[in-house]
Amino acid sequence: MKYTWKLIFIVILLSACSENLGNTQWNNTVTNEIQLVLTPTTRPEPTPTPTQKPHQIVSYESKKWKEYNARSTEGLAKGTVFDMTFDKDGMLWVATGNGVSKFDGENWHTLTRGDGLIDAVANSIAVDMDGIVWIGTDNGVSRFDGDSWQTYTTADGLAGNNVRTIAISQDGTVWVGAREYQDSFGFHSGGITSFDGDTWRTYTKDDGLKSNNIYALLFNKNDKLWAGTAAGLFSFNGQFWQPALDKDWHEYFGDIGVRVLAEAPDGAIWFRTETLKIVRYDGVNWDISFTYDASYILHPITICVDKNFHTWIGGWEHNEGSGQVLTMYDGTKWVVYENLPFRHVFKIIETQDGYIWLGTSSGVYRYNPN
pLDDT tens, residue by residue, 288-345: 877 766 666 668 899 999 999 999 999 987 666 666 789 999 988 889 898 888 889 9
In this predicted structure, what is the pLDDT of residue 249?
61
**Which amino acid does the sequence have at 328?**
M
Distance CA 148, CA 169 (A): 23
Answer yes or no: are the C-beta atoms of 361 and 346 closer than 8 Å. Answer: yes
In this predicted structure, what is the pLDDT of residue 275?
75
* Count of CB atoms situated within 10 Å of the CB of 20: 8
In this predicted structure, what is the pLDDT of residue 74?
78
Distance CA 193, CA 122 (A): 18
Answer yes or no: are the C-beta atoms of 290 and 280 closer than 8 Å. Answer: yes
Answer yes or no: are the C-beta atoms of 52 and 356 closer than 8 Å. Answer: no
Strand partners, 168: 174
In this predicted structure, what is the pLDDT of residue 57?
86
- C-alpha torsion 178→194→232→162, nearest 10: 0
In this predicted structure, what is the pLDDT of residue 296?
67
In this predicted structure, what is the pLDDT of residue 16?
45
Strand partners, 78: none
| Stretches in the chain below the pLDDT threshold 50 | 1-43, 46
Q: 3-class SS at 4?
A: helix
The DSSP annotation for 297-338 comes to EEEEEEEEE-TT--EEEEEEESSTTS---EEEE-SS-EEEEE
CA nearest neighbour of 144 among 128, 152, 133, 157: 133
